[in-house]
Structure 1
């Protein structure tokens, strides 16, 4: 298998993608340009439109509006087989009566690839996904992780310009998911292909993607590198989805450059403005990793420990303020249930958003 898959292209462009299901607007004008060689994750909760977008790109769903372009070639009018993309499904979609080898070679046989070339490419794909010892087994004789490797090999053996993956790891256990994440990224790097990967798992998206596209209600909310979305979500709903579990109403007491002093009614913290705030009220967002016990003399919130779990090397806990606010925190030592803690955070990790966001 060559290092440059499929027909050469510089960019895939989604231009105002719309898809309606009756009165339901599943996609509401998506605009996105994906460069050749990128690994893009479409991330969001169930029903946000990410799988619909993938199926529209694949040609499995027609558009209601907008267009899809490979460079200057419009492709949304083409049938799925004419687009020539590779697709990896959540349920693997393998032929149960065909061996792994024959499943992998199916697309090449349909394209009429001569047998010597077909065998060479299938051998290379089997080696790439490290299934040499499993190649003559039927899918039913293989583990879920092995079946997923077969599905990936089948998608890439045709050397497509674009590989589309729809939650391919959701049926695997936690250990296999981590292993397969590493394999998928390794294969992407090895082939130099372009990949669009749908997931609802922020950890998957952060570990795999060059850029993450966060969707909500059929619209793109933010596009950026994993580090950017992790540290600086542009909207409160993006922050929530990226793991900012603690949300608190706050009043801005003072501004010193871009640092805000925030009164939360249960104590004070300093933070930064994650999105422009016009008034003097805000909503504060914090990751559990960033809120931790501090000395009483520093800005803090007071709360009583309700639950603690050991996650290896440290503890994650849930504390509740006298007002009833839930605060998710981490600690190096196990706190006692019922203990009252002073919880604080680095101001750069306390993000303040407008009280109400569109």
Structure 2
């Protein structure tokens, strides 16, 4: 690949997008540095794909602005932004060879044939498909077809590569393989990759920074380590795998460390926000809530083996559904005591969204 044009940052400044009376994006502000891999993470309908399409120019913004360094680009058509886009469904032309699919964007940009041939060859080499160039897409596996789509996106040497859930149609093994490929390709380009996903594992394994969205707003931005270990709000914690929610009351406070009461049962955790003195929610990952001889009592409903440990679901105080880890199989109806390291128990206000 030849060197990309000079740029330093992509900036979204209070970007909004409405569909009729529905406010889908609400004052999105974000600065991304060249070379970063950014994941937009959130549940369906949170606005992440809408944000990507606004950046690509496939949707106009309702308000705000988008900048590549000091050049405003939200006023440009998608063909003038020069970005590469990879879709969930590959969007390959079935009657065209792999080589012709990869070169399609270059032909639309009227790139000279000799230069286009060089870029196509380089893109195919980057995705390791040089020996498949003469085949039709239907002759390739799903993973290979997705690599063709990536090659087509990078052949135009874009400052940004935009990926909208590109792995969701692949099986589990291919998804893992393609994660490694996508990260390798990103490193070789030196551009910005903006990647939309609802899969926290994908975001954690791929991104330099993760942008968690909900209801059209950014809830938290941070490194994978930040978001995994230190979610700033209850809704972010839930999306980052804290499936257990135990409602309770604060019985004592020792700095950040909180002692909690759950109907007479005790648990300790760490406050993640200024507590308002009312009810609280303790959020815990299933991996961190462990069956033992002490802790919150619960009744086992199901327990299954997952290779390295047993994982189960139980009913705790007040009928709360609890997901836990155990060292041995437990029977439905059995009483179990569940406990967690206080540093792995995050405490939020009960009124958190």
TM-score (norm 2): 0.97
Find the aligned partners of 1:77 and 1:121 in 2 and give their Cα distance: 28
1:18 equivalent to 2:16? Answer: yes
1:205 equivalent to 2:200? Answer: no
Where does 1:235-246 land on structure 2 (aligned, <5 Å)?
235-246=233-244
SS at match of 1:323: helix
Structure-2 residue corresponding to 1:42 = 40
1:110 equivalent to 2:108? Answer: yes
| Preserved CA contact (<8 Å) 1:266 1:301 | no
C-alpha offsets along residues 30-69 of structure 1, whole Å, 9 cap, x if unaligned?
0111111100000111110000000000000001100001
| Preserved CA contact (<8 Å) 2:300 2:330 | yes
Structure-2 residue corresponding to 1:291 = 289
Identify which of 302, 305, 317 aligns with 1:310.
305
Q: Which runs of 5+ in 1 are unaligned?
A: none
Identify which of 44, 57, 60 aligns with 1:59.
57
1:27, distance to aligned residue in structure 2 (A): 0.4
- State how many pairs are aligned: 353
1:250 equivalent to 2:245? Answer: no
| Preserved CA contact (<8 Å) 1:301 1:342 | yes
SS at match of 2:176: helix
Identify which of 183, 188, 213 aligns with 2:181.
183
1:20, distance to aligned residue in structure 2 (A): 0.5
C-alpha offsets along residues 243-265 of structure 1, whole Å, 9 cap, x if unaligned?
11111111111111211011112
Structure-1 residue corresponding to 2:130 = 132
Bigger drift between 89-98 and 264-273 goes to 264-273
Structure-2 residue corresponding to 1:276 = 274
C-alpha offsets along residues 123-165 of structure 1, whole Å, 9 cap, x if unaligned?
1211211112322111122121111000000001111000000
1:13, distance to aligned residue in structure 2 (A): 0.6
Find the aligned partners of 2:278 and 2:292 in 1 and give their Cα distance: 27
| Preserved CA contact (<8 Å) 2:42 2:239 | yes
Find the aligned partners of 1:51 and 1:327 in 2 and give their Cα distance: 32
Please tell me the root mean square deviation across aligned C-alpha atoms, in Å: 1.2
Structure-2 residue corresponding to 1:334 = 329
Q: Which runs of 5+ in 2 are unaligned?
A: none
| Preserved CA contact (<8 Å) 2:263 2:317 | no
Find the aligned partners of 1:95 and 1:245 in 2 and give their Cα distance: 42
| Preserved CA contact (<8 Å) 1:27 1:52 | yes
